[in-house]
Amino acid sequence: CKLIMDVVVVGSCMTDLISYVPRLPKPGETLTGHRFSKGFGGKGANQCVMAARLGVSTTMVAKVGDDTFGHDTIKNFKNNGVNTDFVQMTSDSPSGVAPITVNDAGENAIVIVSGANSKLSPDDVISASDIIAGASVLVCQLEIPKETTLEALKLAKKNGVLTLFNAAPGMAGLSDEYFQNSDILCVNETEAELISSIPVTDLGSGRTAVKALHDRKCGCVVLTMGGSGVLFTERNSSNDVYHIEAMSVNVLDTTGAGDAFVGALAFYLSKYPHLGFKDMVYKSSVIASYSVMLPGTQTSYVTENLPKDLFE
């Protein structure tokens, strides 16, 4: 029997190595941190785990190293109910890691060492073509080779699968194909600026960037702006830009909030297709807001305490 999945994520797995410090260090400076934690991360893995915890069936297509981090990553997916049939282990590369520094204001600085993520190839996507073609929603990012992401987007689009492309980390010079194969393009301020060449400093410039991105022929654009809320265009309609205000919360740690948003949006697109897009964006932003009140990345994705009206 063929496995049918609500959400398939083609993307990255990282092990986050998080240091908590009073402020971010200057070049050449040694700072004493007050806490260290190791967590599971990678944009792809985070988005997949968030969607799974909210209650959809998910499959991860990824590559990890044959090392402690890799074995632990697969175990973590299984603990979260994620199907790992397409998470391959390679002995050619170590697992990806992300040393992260978080200051007292909850701001972070992140270094990514891709490792095995850079070995996930278009051929690996083709090997997973049945599971991708049978999904409701495909989610992709740019923490794996960009040609692998494009292969996944094209394959899904060709099979009528809804494509959600989180163009992160930001990258200038992406070809039009990435956008034409994206039903929903989701970016933050930095990513929007890199792709559109429009500096995003406030809602006004954000709207200009969203219109410019919409004109690259994606179905619609969602621009997440942290405390300033979310700007978006409706699916497959004009480039009118709408705004949703951010929920006012006590920010502890913003790491992984963008991924919480994307994972939640994938959940709504697959589980509640009848909801208006504005409702989906609003509810996803509320879920992301809850995640910044807790420390860490996936550890902040606590779904038990979320308001019941998010699931109506």
Bond into 169 cis (ω within 30): yes
Return the beta strands (E) in 21-103 as ranges.
35-41, 58-65, 83-90, 96-102
Taking each helix axis from N to C end, the angle separating 277-291 and 257-271, rounded to the nearest 10 degrees, works out to 140
Q: Tokens for 200, please give them.
A: 């995003």
> Rounded to an integer, what distance in angstroms lies between the CA atom of residue 277 and that of residue 128?
29
Catalytic residue among 6, 183, 253, 259: 259
72 is catalytic: no
> Rounded to an integer, what distance in angstroms lies between the CA atom of residue 91 and that of residue 70?
10
Q: Is 156 left (phi over 0), alpha (psi -120 to 50) or beta?
A: alpha
Q: For residues 170, 174, 176 and 182, what is the CA-based torsion angle, rounded to 10 degrees? A: -40
Return the beta strands (E) in the chain as ranges.
7-10, 14-20, 35-41, 58-65, 83-90, 96-102, 108-110, 137-140, 162-166, 184-188, 220-224, 230-233, 241-244
In the 8-state DSSP scheme, what is residue 180? Answer: H
> Rounded to an integer, what distance in angstroms lies between the CA atom of residue 152 and that of residue 148?
6
The answer to whether the beta carbons of residues 271 and 56 sit under 8 Å apart is yes
Residues taking part in catalysis: 259
